[in-house]
Structure 1
Amino acid sequence: MVSTAALAGTAAAIGDPARANMLAALMDGRALTATELARIAGVAPQTASGHLARLADAGLILPEKQGRHRYHRLASPAVATMLEGLMALAGTPRPAPATGPRDVALRQARTCYDHLAGRLAVAIADSLVARGHLLLEGDGAEVTASGTEFLHGLGVEAKPSRRLLCRPCLDWSERRPHLAGIIGAALCARCMDMGWVRRREGTRALLITPAGEQGFRARFGVELRPG
Structure 2
Amino acid sequence: MKEGPDIARIAALIGDPARANILSALMSGKALTATELASEAGVTVQTASAHLAKLEAGGLTAVRKSGRHKYISLAGPHVANVLEALMGLAAGQGHLRTRTGPRDVALREARVCYNHLAGARGIAMFDAMLAHGHLTQAGETLALTASGEVFVTDFGVDIAALRRARVPLCRSCLDWSARRTHLAGSLGRAMLAQMELQGWAHRQAGSRVVTFTSQGRRGFETWFGPLPSL
TM over 0.5: yes
Say whether the 8 Å CA contact 2:27–2:74 is kept in structure 1: yes
Q: Is the 8 A contact 1:122 1:177 kept in 2?
A: yes
Q: Secondary structure at the match of 1:28?
A: coil
Aligned to 2:106: 105
CA–CA separation in structure 2 for the residues paired with 1:180 and 1:195: 21
CA drift at 1:219: 1.5
Task: State how many pairs are aligned.
Answer: 223
Counterpart Cα distance in 2 of 1:9 and 1:51: 14
How does the TM-score come out when normalised to structure 2? 0.91
Is the Cα–Cα contact under 8 Å of residues 110 and 121 in structure 2 kept in the other structure?
A: yes
Cα RMSD for the two superposed structures: 2.0
Q: Which residue of 1 aligns with 2:173?
A: 169
**Following the alignment from structure 1 to structure 2, what is the Cα–Cα distance between the partners of residues 117 and 152?**
21
Describe the shift of the 1:9–1:223 C-alpha distance in structure 2 as closer, same or farther (beyond 3 A): closer
CA contact (8 A) 1:77 1:113 kept: yes
**Taking every aligned residue pair, what percent have the same amino acid on both sides?**
51
Task: Tell whether 2:185 aligns with 1:204.
Answer: no
What SS does the corresponding residue of 2:182 show, helix, strand or coil?
A: strand
The residue type paired with residue 153 of structure 1 is D
Shift of 1:59: 0.5
Stretches of structure 1 lacking an aligned partner (at least 5 in a row): none
Q: How does 1:18-29 map to 2 (within 5 A)?
A: 18-29=18-29
Q: For each residue in 1:19-65, what CA deviation from the matched residue of structure 2 results, as whole angstroms up to 9, or x when unmatched?
A: 00000000011011101100110001110000000100010011111
Deviation sequence 1:63-88 (CA, Å, 0-9, x none): 11112211100010100011101111
Aligned match for 1:214, one of 201, 208, 218: 218
Using the alignment, how far apart are the partners of 1:175 and 1:194 within structure 2?
A: 29
Structure 2 match to 1:130: 131
User: Of 180, 190, 193, which residue of structure 2 is paired with 1:189?
Assistant: 193
Could you report, residue by residue, the CA deviation over 1:93-150 in whole angstroms, capped at 9, with x for unpaired residues? 9974243210110000001101100000000111111111111333121111001001
Distance in 2 separating the partners of 1:95 and 1:75: 25
Letter aligned with residue 39 of structure 2? R
Q: 1:5 Cα deviation (Å)?
A: 6.1
Contact 1:87–1:94 (CA<8 Å) still a contact in 2?
Answer: no
Instruction: Letter of the 2:178 partner, please give it.
Output: E
Q: Distance in 1 between matches of 2:68 and 2:74?
A: 20
Pairing of 1:25-40 with structure 2 (within 5 A): 25-40=25-40
Q: Unpaired runs of 5+ in structure 2?
A: none
The answer for the alignment partner of 2:63 in structure 1 is: 63
- 1:29 maps to a residue whose letter is G
C-alpha distance in structure 2 between counterparts of 1:4 and 1:99, whole Å: 39
- Counterpart CA distance in 1 for 2:166 and 2:44 is 38
Answering whether residue 80 of structure 2 is matched by residue 80 of structure 1, we say yes
Describe the shift of the 1:52–1:170 C-alpha distance in structure 2 as closer, same or farther (beyond 3 A): same
Measure how far apart 1:222 and its partner are. Answer: 3.0
